[in-house]
Amino acid sequence: MRPAALLSVCALTASTVLVAGCGSEDTASGSRAASGSPTCTSRPPVGEPSELKRDGVTILGQDCGPSADARTKFQVTNAESEPFAFTVSFEVLNGAGEVVSNPRRTLASVPPGRTVQDTVALGDVPTSGVRVRIGKVRAIPADEASEVSAKCPPSGMRVTTDEGDAAMGLRVVGMRLINCGTGVIRTDGYPRLQLLDERRRPVTGVRILDGTGAISTAGGPDTPPRPVTLRPGETASASLMWRNTTESGAPVNIPYVRVTVKPGSPTAIVTPELDLGTTGRLGVGPWTKETKGQASRPTTPDSLGGGRPGPTAPSTGE
């Protein structure tokens, strides 16, 4: 799956791990396997501890996968009193300091008070002059992390967000409600949202609007909410729309959103990364049942493009 080039961690500065070739023959240390294929020996990173840690995540050094793919070893410590899901985004930079890939790794359930080690594949990167740093860390209580959970939640409802679109200050993210259980899910309105900051504290001062027409009419007129019935395997979608205009005042960035599908239902936390600027408004479309083959994202202008990468397949963290 990956090229046979081997990478290793040799130096670390400013929260980065420097990657160089690994797998050179060393009969004294036994770094060449009996089959004649090169292997990699773990090497600790070099640098101040404060440069290697962020939000409970620590880069440990170089590791190599079974196919000799380049990997970075890291650990996650859950200091909370309940299981948490951690999604860690890394940035791989070349010798010129340019980001060449953004690998991401999710640990779906790290027990409270535990430290779990894992590795992340770096992808197709040069064999030398490459460094890896922590980009950002997102941590969600495991019982609300349906987006990254490998199993269907007990509620039978999974809530996810898509990659999103952006153009000329207009942002659109599609939200999906998936019936992954065995019962029937019914709803007839708008998703109920609570906006949360970096520490998952409620954010005030932002108006959550029913409908997206007040943000932009590019997607057509607002559709009124209608009853939605989802049988097992069926999906509904809704849209989040905002502008990231920044004028006077401090811009508002909201990494987390807590979603309630209907009154009394269990909540889910997603990470749409809302960069609201100073507009103070977020438009929310109603739940709409998807037909087979329908795209999950609501209609948006053809000029919209790009987006953020979706999460990788989660690890169990065990």
108 and 11 both lie in a single domain: yes
Distance CA 199, CA 185 (A): 31
Same domain, 91 and 18: yes
CB atoms within 10 A of CB 44: 12
Indicate whether 317 belongs to any domain.
Answer: no
pLDDT for the residue 1:
42
Residues 150, 118 share a domain: no
- Shared-domain flag, residues 22 and 136: yes
What are the tokens at 290? 């998807």
Domain that residue 206 falls in: 146-289
Residues 130 and 232 in one domain: no
Verify that 115 and 185 share a domain, yes or no.
Answer: no
Amino acid of residue 20:
A
48 inside domain? yes
In a domain, 297, yes or no: no
Task: For residues 109 and 158, state if they share a domain.
Answer: no
Please check whether residues 34 and 166 belong to one and the same domain.
no
Check which CATH number belongs to the domain holding 15 and give it: 2.60.40
- Averaged pLDDT in 10-residue chunks for the chain of 318 residues: 38 42 33 40 53 86 68 93 95 82 93 95 71 90 92 94 80 95 94 96 95 85 91 96 87 95 92 93 95 53 38 47
- What pLDDT, on a 0 to 100 scale, did the predictor assign at position 315? 55
- My answer on whether 173 and 221 are in the same domain is yes
- 136 with 210, same domain: the answer is no
Q: Which of 84, 119, 141 is the last residue of a domain?
A: 141
Are 165 and 277 in a shared domain?
Answer: yes
27 domain-assigned: yes
**Residue 300 resides in a domain:** no
Both 72 and 160 in a single domain? no
* Domain containing residue 217: CATH number: 2.60.40.10
296 inside domain: no
pTM: 0.78
Asked whether residue 307 is domain-assigned, the answer is no
**Final residue in a domain of this structure, among 141, 169, 194:** 141
**Structurally, how many domains does the chain consist of?**
2
